[in-house]
Amino acid sequence: MKVYIYLENGTYLEAKSFGAETTLVGEIVFNTSLTGYQEIISDPSYAGQFVTFTMPEIGNVGVNTQDMESKGAFSKGIIVRTYHERYSNFRGEDSLGSFLKEQGVIGICNIDTRYLTKMVRDEGAMMMVASTLISDKDELKKILESSPRIEEVNYIKEVSTKKVYKHTHGTYDAVNFKYNDVPEVKAKIAAIDFGVKRNILNELTQAGMEVEVLPNDFDADVLVKRVHDGELHGVFLSNGPGDPLILKKEQESVKKLIAAKVPMFGICLGHQLLSISHGYDTYKLKFGHHGGNHPVKNIKTGMVEITAQNHNYNVPDNITEIAEVTHTNLFDNTIEGLNYKSGHVYSVQHHPEASPGPKESAYIFNEFLSLMGR
């Protein structure tokens, strides 16, 4: 089956479909990770996007239960050079293609991903439409033009949990292939789910936190009260999809938490929301950071950490007026980590939970305990 794609710069391409049969509009980005396509595809932060994998062979290891980063896949589509329906891995349970079909995600293969990557690199992230049903270029163009841009869509509702729940397991032990035992609880926290990756919750739990997951439309006043009552010790703000500037309601909530001096830790979107809520608006990067090989300097130790990254927006440089930079990206010197001078908030742009990616930044989770004085 064929799939037709049209990009907002006028590029029209034909490729092979290996996922859902439908028509979808989203923003095209590229990810340079060599491993972990399943974790990327199931990362809710990719909601509203088409992910181009620069790794040319995808599908090789199939999909399995443990490598899911959320309950499903929220991206619009996956673009790969070569898709392999037949996989080989002792943990493989199903093929990537059937997973995508199940999840309603478009699979695009037999396309020059390097061409697309260079285009995004040079022209920036852009909107596109893909369809297995419509081949006509003009029609696709019309669909694209009549669809909202990614900045205009709030995907948080779609990916956040509807119900409050307790996260119960720790990290996955890839030596013995089982979940690690959960340690003794040292602190109780609320994690706001803007599209949280499971491994963040696993890491928080493994670090000794009892994690209560709240939906994006949580009641900030209630939360503040619970913290002041000592019922909770801190709040974690998760990663998530889309432009943080449009999340007005969430910003208002975060402002309340800041004002109430609630100990807070944010990752990715959480990091961005903290900046915006402090009065420092984020800006959009040309094509963002998506991959597992970005060098980040830890200012305190002087060490370089190779990190997992997935973001299109960044906090502004002048945030140093109110926060100390703890981490910087060595590729482009953008800010990666902040410690707010107020003393109760810290956050990172990259993904210390990895999954996929290198795990050397996992210590950042432990710092939350110190921040909460636990």
Partner 1 sequence: MPRRDDIKTILLIGSGPIVIGQACEFDYSGTQAVKTLKELGYRVVLINSNPATIMTDPEFADRTYVEPITPEIISEIIKKENVDAVLPTMGGQTALNAAMTMHERGMLDGIEFLGANPEAINKGEDRLAFKEAMIKIGMDLPRSMYAHSMDEALEAAEKIGFPIIIRASFTLAGGGSGVAYNIDEYKTLAQRGLDESPVSQILVEESLLGWKEYEMEVIRDKADNCIIVCSIENFDPMGVHTGDSITVAPALTLTDKEYQRMRDASFDILREIGVDTGGSNVQFSVDPKTGRMIVIEMNPRVSRSSALASKATGYPIAKVATLLAVGYTLDEITNDITGTPASFEPVIDYVVTKVPRFTFEKFPEADSTLSTGMKSVGEAMAIGRTFKESFQKALCSLEEGYSGFDCQEGNMDFIIHEIRRPNAKRMLYVAEGFRRGLSHEEIFDICKIDPWFLYQMEELVAFEKTIDIDILNDEERFREAKTYGFSDMKISQHINRNSNIIQSENDVYAARKRLGIHLEYNEVDTCAAEFKALTPYLYSTTNISKLPNLTNRVSEDKKKVMILGGGPNRIGQGIEFDYCCVHAAFALKEMGIETIMYNCNPETVSTDYDTSDVLYFEPIDFEHVREVIEYEQPDGIIVHFGGQTPLKLANPLTAIGAKISGTPAKVIDLAEDREKFSDFVNKHGLKQPANGLATTKEQAVSIAEELTYPVLVRPSFVLGGRAMRIVYNSDELRKYMDEAVSVSNDAPVLVDKFLDQAIELDVDAICDGEEVYIGSVMQHIEEAGIHSGDSACSLPPVNLSEKLIKEVEQETKVIALGLGVVGLMNIQFAIYQDEIYLIEVNPRASRTVPFVSKATGMPLAKVATRVMMGEKLRDALKFYDNYDVVMEGEGILKPRLKDHMALKEAVFPFNKLYGADLVLSPEMKSTGEVMGISKNFGTSFAKSQMAAGNIIPTQGTCFLSFIDMDKVHAAEIAKGLSDNGIKLVATKGTAEIINKAGIECDSVLKISEGRPNIEDSMTNGDITMAINTSDNKTAKDDAVKIRQIVLRRGIPYFTTLSAARATIAALEAMKNEDWNAPVPLQDYLG
Instruction: Summarize as ranges the residues that interact with partner 1 (CB under 8 A).
Output: 13-15, 30, 32-36, 38-39, 54-57, 60-61, 64, 66-67, 81-82, 84, 86-91, 110-115, 117-119, 121, 172, 174-175, 177, 291-295, 297, 302-304, 306, 330-331, 354-359
- Give me the least distance between CB of 109 and partner 1, in Å please: 9
Q: Helix, strand, or coil here: 12?
A: strand
- Cβ contacts of 145 within 8 Å, gap of 6 or more: none
- Give me the least distance between CB of 82 and partner 1, in Å please: 5
* Residue 289 annotated in active site: no
* Residue 102 annotated in active site: no
CA 44 from chain centre, in angstroms, equals 6
Q: Which helix (H) or strand (E) holds 2?
A: strand 2-7
Phi, psi torsion values for 89, nearest 5 degrees: -165, 140
Between 185 and 303, whose beta carbon lies closer to partner 1? 303
Distance between CA atoms of residues 6 and 151, nearest Å: 19
* Residue 353 annotated in active site: yes
Q: Out of 84, 167, 268, 311, which one is annotated catalytic?
A: 268
Question: DSSP letters along 253-315, please?
Answer: HHHHHHHTT--EEEETHHHHHHHHHTT---EEEEEEEEEEEEEEEETTT--EEEEEEEEEEE-
Between 82 and 103, whose beta carbon lies closer to partner 1? 82
**Number of residues that make up the chain:** 374
- Give me the least distance between CB of 351 and partner 1, in Å please: 12
Q: Out of 290, 311, 327, 351, which one is annotated catalytic?
A: 351
Question: Using N-to-C axis directions, what is the helix angle for 198-206 and 363-371, rounded to 10°?
Answer: 60
Can you point out the beta strands (E) in 96-198? 106-109, 126-131, 165-167, 172-173, 178-179, 187-192
- Give me the least distance between CB of 262 and partner 1, in Å please: 33
Between 10 and 230, whose beta carbon lies closer to partner 1? 10
Between 122 and 229, whose beta carbon lies closer to partner 1? 122
- Give me the least distance between CB of 117 and partner 1, in Å please: 4
- Cβ contacts of 316 within 8 Å, gap of 6 or more: 275, 280, 281, 282, 283
Between 87 and 366, whose beta carbon lies closer to partner 1? 87
Write out the catalytic residue numbers. Answer: 268, 351, 353
